Amino acid sequence: MRKVAIIGVGMTKFGEHWERGYRDLVIEAGVKAIEDAGLQGNEISAGYVGSMASGSLIGQEHVGALIADQMGLNPIPVTRVEAACASGGVALRQGYLAVASGAHDIVVVGGVEKMNDLDTNTVSEILGGAGDEEWELFLGATFPGLYALMAKRHMHEYGTTEEMMAAVAVKNHEHGSRNPYAQFQNKITIDMVMKSKMVADPLKVFDCSPITDGAAVAILATLDVAKKYSSQPIEIAASAQASDTIALHSREKLSEVKATKIAAQKAYEMAGVKPKDIDVAEVHDCFTIGEILAIEDLGFFKKGEGGKASLEGKTYLNGEIPINTSGGLKAAGHPVGATGIKQAVELTWQLRGKAEGRQVDDAEIALAHNVGGSGATAVVHIFKKV
Amino acid sequence: MRKVAIIGVGMTKFGEHWERGYRDLVIEAGVKAIEDAGLQGNEISAGYVGSMASGSLIGQEHVGALIADQMGLNPIPVTRVEAACASGGVALRQGYLAVASGAHDIVVVGGVEKMNDLDTNTVSEILGGAGDEEWELFLGATFPGLYALMAKRHMHEYGTTEEMMAAVAVKNHEHGSRNPYAQFQNKITIDMVMKSKMVADPLKVFDCSPITDGAAVAILATLDVAKKYSSQPIEIAASAQASDTIALHSREKLSEVKATKIAAQKAYEMAGVKPKDIDVAEVHDCFTIGEILAIEDLGFFKKGEGGKASLEGKTYLNGEIPINTSGGLKAAGHPVGATGIKQAVELTWQLRGKAEGRQVDDAEIALAHNVGGSGATAVVHIFKKV
């Protein structure tokens, strides 16, 4: 398997794009990434795109072909992959495999979702399709409810408090206020989170990531090819994906995401690094408890100590391990299929030293963690400055 | 890149499975394929599944994880790919790449769709998402309408007649009557097709493939590994995919599917064979005109002569080039995501000499052709007896 690097990235602002469609978002992000890589579109020989629910959200399936068409990439194969909210991470992994394998030298990977065209209840039901439709969604379980169960169990086992979860949201909004691509750029306080409307006890509105439109794109190449194009290629040192039961009620434990642990272990081995070597990470905080689970399951903090670490500020930009400098899903927004690629874009900027206003000093190694559903899919990538 | 072979196949009967769900169909096909390969599930290290519209059809996204779970394959990565009606073919290609690349030794690929749980109009609208939602579906174009335009153009340019198209349906029903897995096992006549209800002029009900539930699964392995498991491994000698504009109105020509021509050319080069070397083929006959376009674009007949060849019986089981011995999409049925894998299952049986009642004598080389939408994606695989 060959070494693979990111040579170009681009994304739209995340937020509410009422005046623009799905394809407009992809084109903007794609053109930026191609320009950033300094190449011509016809040098790309394959593409992968992550999109969760375009069929239900905008009536459009077959989005691989749509994107090949709109980006002028015909007749190359562009393949859509779907793994719920991990669709972007899985698309990145397929692109990585396509280049690592020798099948392709330069590949484009993207993620996109247009979520604001329907009302919130309908979108919540569509997102519920990331769980077990027959045994969760059909019986009334939506994602705030499923993550609330995980939060309650974590509180019960480890004494995690609502304030600890709120601290995750406060920190991510602080980071988001420094990111011009973030949906929310306002700062909030623990008190504001605690007083916000209850969604599914103990999760309040400010514990939840928003509904978002957006797209993100990255261009991958073999490390040899990469050096011809980019003065700052970013190596993909590891790419790992694992699965667990789709229904939460079938899991061994509710207070951890086993798929994250398995994927992380594989990724650390593949990259030859340990959790303490990671300088900056983007993790899947669809709900604040999600970030607490992630920083424990990824090995940044011991099991049960993620909440306390968050409250103590250890995950801030200048803390022990900066988490979600983009603002995470919570503040940067969560256009579900795009999130996994946005994480790679943010970390590319960090490793290039170009994350203006939110730069982690001397960042050399970064980790991206993308989850589908309540943890049935987890994807972990590790990036290194070349 | 390593050589890859099919070592096990399985499928459900295609048809109306009112009493069974999406996951039941996958399990049946998956267990049969694993048994056919003579291996244990835990020897499989990755999976790919093609499914077009599970979100809209049954409210379930994240079907890679669902299938990993239901087939007891956790925690391996199982990735869903979607390319409209070419989803199965693209899943097969991703599995092929995963094994050829050295990333995995044994991989499962599947395709599945449950389409009968909604009314026909709703399903037609969902399938319309395989085209351009903004410029085709939204303005009223459904797939019978789009293929009718292609048929009219082909008739205009080459003198193709409605009887020639009807002959495709008659032949595929004849073949389907010999296939116990086919949805329709009744024989029909040209007169019956001609007198059937008009759907979109010139396409009548009997020119159209039906709405179908079903699943198909194949197990892939490196050729070296394959020989340990199977006395009759079938080599995947070529795998190629190409794209074209998603909207029909943007194409250079309506009387050909350019993506098929490009994918076929690549596949023939990769396998080192020519169209005349193919002993049996499964092609994408979502509508009868689709088969006529396919047998021309794949090079079995000259452009414009596919209709005449069909009427003359050249594509029958004992004809010049047997096409769709399974009954094709028309008679075997078309559970959209499953079709591309079903083609591989049928051709595996043919190359093993086990297609009882519809066996092509001395079949050594076979071709599968799977199309997404009106031709925005085409996937061609070539299989060889080892």
Residue closest to A218 by CA, chosen among A114, A330, A342 = A342
Contact B90 A79 (CB under 8 A): yes
Q: Is B249 a catalytic residue?
A: no
Q: Does A85 share its domain with A175?
A: no
pLDDT of residue B125: 95
Which residues form the domain of B366?
A: 131-208+237-385
Q: According to the 3-state scheme, what is the secondary structure of B6-73?
A: EEEEEECCCECCCCCCHHHHHHHHHHHHHHHHCCCHHHCCEEEEECCCHHHHHCCCCHHHHHHHHCCC
Beta pairing, strands A4-11 & A234-243? antiparallel
Beta pairing, strands A377-385 & B46-50? unpaired
Contact A21 B134 (CB under 8 A): yes
Q: What is the pLDDT of residues B306-350, one digit of tens each?
A: 999 999 999 999 999 999 999 999 999 999 999 999 999 999 999
pLDDT of residue B111: 98
DSSP A302-351: -TT-HHHHHHTTTTSTTSSS-B-TT-HHHHH---GGGHHHHHHHHHHHHH
Q: Does residue A123 belong to any structural domain of this protein?
A: no
Output the average pLDDT for chain B.
97
Q: Which amino acid appears at position A165 of this protein?
A: M
pLDDT band with cut points at 50, 70 and 90 for residue A41 = confident
Assign residue B223 the CATH number of its domain. 3.40.47.10
Q: What is the pLDDT of residues A168-219, one digit of tens each?
A: 999 999 999 999 999 999 999 999 999 999 999 999 999 999 999 999 999 9
Query: Which single residue is written with the structure tokens 């050096």?
Result: A227
Q: Does A200 share its domain with A300?
A: yes
Q: According to the 3-state scheme, what is the secondary structure of B344-377?
A: HHHHHHHHHCCCCCCCCCCCCEEEEEEEECCCCE
Percent of chain B with pLDDT over 90: 98
Contact A100 B97 (CB under 8 A): no
Q: Does B231 share its domain with B242?
A: no
pLDDT of residue A1: 86
Residue B41 has pLDDT above 90, yes or no: no
Contact (CB, 8 A) for B346 and B355? yes
- Separation in Å, CA of B91 to nearest CA in chain A: 9
Q: Does A230 share its domain with A270?
A: no
- Separation in Å, CA of A303 to nearest CA in chain B: 21
Q: Is A286 a catalytic residue?
A: no
Q: Does residue A93 belong to any structural domain of this protein?
A: yes
> Which of A243, A258, A266, A270 is the best mutation test for B, with the most CBs of B within 10 A?
A243
pLDDT of residue B1: 86
Chain A residue numbers touching B260 (CB-CB < 8 A): none
B191: CB partners within 8 A, 6+ apart: none
Residue A280 has pLDDT above 90, yes or no: yes
- Separation in Å, CA of B172 to nearest CA in chain A: 27
CB atoms within 10 A of CB A351: 25
Q: Does residue A90 belong to any structural domain of this protein?
A: yes
> Which of B243, B248, B256, B377 is the best mutation test for A, with the most CBs of A within 10 A?
B243
Residue A311 has pLDDT above 90, yes or no: yes
Q: Does B139 share its domain with B217?
A: no
pLDDT band with cut points at 50, 70 and 90 for residue A45 = very high
Q: Does A294 share its domain with A357?
A: yes
- Domain tally for chain A? 2
Output the average pLDDT for chain A.
97
Contact (CB, 8 A) for A216 and A345? yes
Q: Does B90 share its domain with B221?
A: yes
Residue B55 has pLDDT above 90, yes or no: yes
Q: What is the pLDDT of residues A260-279, one digit of tens each?
A: 999 999 999 999 999 999 99
Q: Does residue A30 belong to any structural domain of this protein?
A: yes
| Burial (CB count <10 Å: 0-12, 13-18, 19+), residue A18 | exposed
Which helix or strand (DSSP H or E) is residue A27 part of? helix A22-37
Query: Which single residue is written with the structure tokens 């199977």?
Result: B230
Of the candidates B235, B270, B295, which is a domain's last residue?
A: B235
Chain A residue numbers touching B21 (CB-CB < 8 A): 134
Contact A59 B245 (CB under 8 A): no
Mean pLDDT, rounded, for A233-242: 98
Task: Kindly name the residue from B154, B284, B334, B369 that is annotated as catalytic.
Answer: B334
Of the candidates B235, B250, B274, which is a domain's last residue?
A: B235
> Which of A24, A246, A248 is the best mutation test for B, with the most CBs of B within 10 A?
A246
CA distance linking residue A15 with residue A182, whole number of Å: 7
Q: Does A180 share its domain with A219?
A: no
Please, where are the H alpha helices in chain B?
A: 22-37, 54-58, 63-70, 87-100, 120-128, 143-158, 162-176, 190-195, 223-229, 258-271, 288-297, 306-311, 328-332, 339-352
- Separation in Å, CA of A245 to nearest CA in chain B: 5
Angle at A336 between CA A330 and CA A339, to 5 degrees: 65
Q: Does B158 share its domain with B255?
A: yes
First to last CA, chain B: 18
Residue closest to A213 by CA, chosen among A363, A66, A12 = A12
Chain A residue numbers touching B141 (CB-CB < 8 A): none
Residue A88 has pLDDT above 90, yes or no: yes
Mean pLDDT, rounded, for B262-280: 98
pLDDT of residue A281: 99
Q: Does B56 share its domain with B183?
A: no
Task: Kindly name the residue from A85, A175, A284, A286 that is annotated as catalytic.
Answer: A85
